[in-house]
Structure 1
Amino acid sequence: MSRHAEYLKLIAEYINKTKKFERNLKMLNYLSLDNGQAKVEFTVSQDHINTDGHLHPGLTTTIIDVLSSHALLVHGDGFSGVSTNIHVSHFQRASVGDLILVNAKMSKLVEPLAFVEVELSRKNGVAEDLVARGEHTLFVRPGLHYARS
């Protein structure tokens, strides 16, 4: 099993077992985690919506935060970071039953900062409609890589 496949397994196990905040992400189906990129999908359910019946912006921001951190983890030798800034732009609503694809991609690493871009898109047949885009800046300790065993 590759290191990244091991990460996928460990992340999924942690999210399913934890009593901490990450338990709110149990719906994420990890598609890939490799080479500075993380991809997941999920179907919007009643647990994910606000009072207007649409995907909650707070959940959108949480997904951007977590997925960008996972993309950073599998970039190069692996990095762990702390958020310094998250910017989220919302373009379209997502409703119960919508299939959402999330793509996080490392765009730049200029130690001590890492920059990750994340897009949430609603799958609409073969097309995809952009729901939200996030830009996440993380502080990484210069020269310190995430320990892999």
Structure 2
Amino acid sequence: MAATTKAVSAIRNYLKNCSGFESILKNIKIISAGNGTCLAEYKVEQNATNVLGSLHGGFTATLVDATSTYALYCDQDEITPSVSLDMHMTYMKAANLGDEILIDAKTMRAGKNLAYLRVEVKNKQTGDLLAQALHTRFLLSEKSY
């Protein structure tokens, strides 16, 4: 439980103080994190919608990228910098302005060089699956950067 609390606190602190592109994630609420998982919640805001008024696919991909990365970091004793190698998204249903969604990320396997993660995005009220993703990250060694 202490590791989970520490992970959630670290992620919340990071989101609160992040700058640049990731500042769009400031309104994500981390529900739980630890042991290679991260569960987050987001209420769809106007600035995250597309021309049709539903959650923008690019914003969904950013949520997936971020929460899966947090899940990976919660699976490591010491955070290893990493970069996305591949991310496959399947969009199944729209989320609309004001909808609350859950982003559930799990580390499937983390090896020496690669990590494999799975993410499900669901409507919090209905439980409908909105999107699912597979995310592969390349773990950087000191020689890589």
TM-score range (shorter-chain normalised) is 0.7 to 0.9
Looking at secondary structure, tell me which structure has more helix per residue.
Answer: 2
Provide Cα deviations, 1:44-86, integer angstroms capped at 9, x if missing partner: 1112101110101111111111111111111153553211111
Question: What amino acid maps onto 1:130 in structure 2?
Answer: L
**Residues 101 and 30 of structure 1, relative CA distance in 2, 3 Å threshold:** same
> Could you tell me which residue of structure 2 aligns to residue 29 of structure 1?
29
> Could you tell me which residue of structure 1 aligns to residue 85 of structure 2?
84
Q: TM-score, normalised by structure 2?
A: 0.88
Offset at residue 2 of structure 1 (A) = 2.4
> Could you tell me which residue of structure 2 aligns to residue 95 of structure 1?
96
Aligned partners of 2:110, 2:13: CA distance in 1, in Å?
Answer: 29
Q: TM-score, normalised by structure 1?
A: 0.85
Q: Is the 8 A contact 1:72 1:78 kept in 2?
A: no
SS in 2 for 1:96: coil
Aligned partners of 2:77, 2:17: CA distance in 1, in Å?
Answer: 27
Question: What amino acid maps onto 2:18 in structure 1?
Answer: T
Aligned partners of 1:6, 1:54: CA distance in 2, in Å?
Answer: 34
Q: Does 1:112 align with 2:123?
A: no
Aligned partners of 1:14, 1:74: CA distance in 2, in Å?
Answer: 14
SS in 1 for 2:128: strand
Question: What amino acid maps onto 2:53 in structure 1?
Answer: G
Within-5 A mapping of 1:1-149: 2-80=2-80, 81-124=82-125, 127-141=126-140
Aligned pairs, number: 141
Offset at residue 19 of structure 1 (A) = 2.7
Q: Is the 8 A contact 2:68 2:117 kept in 1?
A: yes
Q: Is the 8 A contact 2:31 2:41 kept in 1?
A: yes
Offset at residue 20 of structure 1 (A) = 1.7
Offset at residue 4 of structure 1 (A) = 3.4
> Aligned residues: percent identity?
33
Aligned partners of 2:10, 2:77: CA distance in 1, in Å?
Answer: 18
SS in 2 for 1:53: coil
Provide Cα deviations, 1:67-114, integer angstroms capped at 9, x if missing partner: 111111111535532111111110000001111011000112233111
